Amino acid sequence: MGHDAVRYRKVPLLSEEIAAVIASLVPRGTEPVTGWASAACRQAETTLGASAVAWAVQVAGDLASRTQVEHPEGFVPVQAIAARGEVLVLQVLSTLAATGGSVDMAAVDIAAEDMAAMAEEPIRALIAVGAPFERVAETIRVAHEVVVRELLGAGIALEVSAATLTAITVSVARATDEVLASLAKRYTQEAERFSSSVQHARHELIDALLDGRPVDEHAAARILGVSISNYHRSFVISGSPSYPHADARSLRRAADAIKNRLGARTGVVREHANLLWMWVSSERPLLVDESVVAAWIGDEVRVGFGSVQPKATGFRRTHLEAEAAARYGTSTGTAVVDYACHTLPVLLSTDAERARWFVESELGELAAQNPRSRELVTTLRCYFDSKLRIAVAAERLHVHRNTAIHRLAAIESILGHPVTERLAEVQAALSLLDVIGDPPDETP
């Protein structure tokens, strides 16, 4: 009887300690935490509590941001990874609660099925941007390590029993294995559906055009909804510095605003995480400038766009120009960049390190970031804009003519030659000056 009494005392103790560990989970900070997998979060709150759910959302968000930092070379669907991570962590907590007996296991099984179904949209988003399953699995394994560490830390802080710590480790491992197996199956199924979808066909056709491969014009018109023989202008739309992770709706709104204001009846869109490509096509060239586009879009996005180009070769060319313009806008902090207006600095700044060498070689001390150098650079730019007329430059600068002459003499002394001797090189270096930024810190 004494042995049975001891055995039956351990079950409620395990349940109570696991419930206490889950109840102790709180998110950092005081700001409200909102998850992307909202339906799963609402369902989990009934069994886990709002605080634990908010903690799970925060852990998933941290993992998604970490994945983006560790894989800067590709498009990382942060929202999709965060949503899938939320479902994973909530499933782990639900399984742990059931292990302790504080939640009915049958209810957890139902919740796990529901949560898996809720994760299908994030899975589709991951597949649509070409995220390999290995990267998703890697994120889940990292999530497993983080969750185990956090839960064990909470348990140790509460001085729970060794049995409870073991139950936490085993439950999290089991839940993670089940999630990986389920996710692999769903990922394979969704990938097969996607590969045969119209969206996949559009992606394949766009890839062929961008690679410069020949395409059937009739098939292109049917799949893309535009005539390849038309004129095309490409736009690359992404989040602004204030909203680096602008959601898909913000990017679509900007794309729709541009297309509608241009009066284009047709457009081709390809979405990536935090990035959208758009081509507007028409039988006649659609003209637009930077200031007009800036007035159409909100503060949440930045836009780079190419020149108007015809036919399949133009479809590719305008997009490559738009991508280059977008990169230039990122490096200079410019919200809207028309490639045609910045062709020279865009081309010259393709290799940032060599561009800096070129500027330093041509401008010498004029490239330094100090008030005197900036004053001389402003004077030199105004002199060029005034068609090398010193009196006109002095008037525009609101200085005496002799002051402008003295500044020009100082400039030529720094350059080591008259400004007209290497006119093209000096003007090119000036155009790059705002692009290259400050030189790297070489302090050991």
The pLDDT tens digits of the residues spanning 361-412 come to 999 999 888 999 999 999 999 999 999 999 999 999 999 999 999 999 999 9
Of 296, 316, 341, the residue that ends a domain is: 341
Please tell me whether residue 278 adopts helix, strand or coil conformation: strand
- At 299 the pLDDT is 78
Indicate whether 247 and 360 sit together in one domain. Answer: no
Q: Which CATH number goes with the domain that contains 426?
A: 1.10.10.2840
Q: Specify if 1 maps to a domain.
A: no
- At 265 the pLDDT is 66
- The mean predicted confidence, pLDDT, of the chain is 81
Indicate whether 325 and 398 sit together in one domain. Answer: no
Q: Which CATH number goes with the domain that contains 265?
A: 3.30.70.270
Of 300, 315, 341, the residue that ends a domain is: 341
Instruction: Please compute the mean of the pLDDT values over residues 183-188 and round it to a whole number.
Output: 83
Q: Which of 348, 295, 303 is CA-nearest to residue 323?
A: 303
Indicate whether 79 and 176 sit together in one domain. Answer: yes
**CA separation for the pair 241, 332 (Å, rounded):** 11
pLDDT of residue 76 exceeding 80: no
Instruction: Please compute the mean of the pLDDT values over residues 203-219 and round it to a whole number.
Output: 92
Indicate whether 231 and 328 sit together in one domain. Answer: yes
Is residue 309 a contact partner of residue 231, using CB atoms and an 8 Å limit?
A: yes
Indicate whether 271 and 420 sit together in one domain. Answer: no
Predicted confidence band of residue 109 (pLDDT cuts 50, 70, 90): very low
Indicate whether 117 and 184 sit together in one domain. Answer: yes
The residue segments making up the domain with residue 109 are 14-194
Q: Specify if 186 maps to a domain.
A: yes
List pLDDT tens digits, range 93-102: 888 888 655 5
**CA atoms 393, 396, 401, 405: torsion sign:** negative
Q: Specify if 207 maps to a domain.
A: no
Is the pTM higher than 0.85? The answer reads no
- At 249 the pLDDT is 82
Predicted confidence band of residue 440 (pLDDT cuts 50, 70, 90): very low
Please tell me whether residue 245 adopts helix, strand or coil conformation: coil
Of 148, 176, 194, the residue that ends a domain is: 194
Indicate whether 313 and 366 sit together in one domain. Answer: no
Indicate whether 284 and 160 sit together in one domain. Answer: no
* DSSP-derived secondary structure for 12-64: HHHHHHHHHHHHT---SSSS----SSHHHHHHHHHHH-HHHHHHHHHHHHHHH
* Domain count along the chain: 3
Q: Specify if 394 maps to a domain.
A: yes
- At 106 the pLDDT is 43
Q: Specify if 265 maps to a domain.
A: yes
The strand pair at 231-239 and 301-305 is best described as: antiparallel
Q: Name which residue leads in pLDDT, 46 or 74.
A: 46
- At 7 the pLDDT is 44
Indicate whether 397 and 430 sit together in one domain. Answer: yes
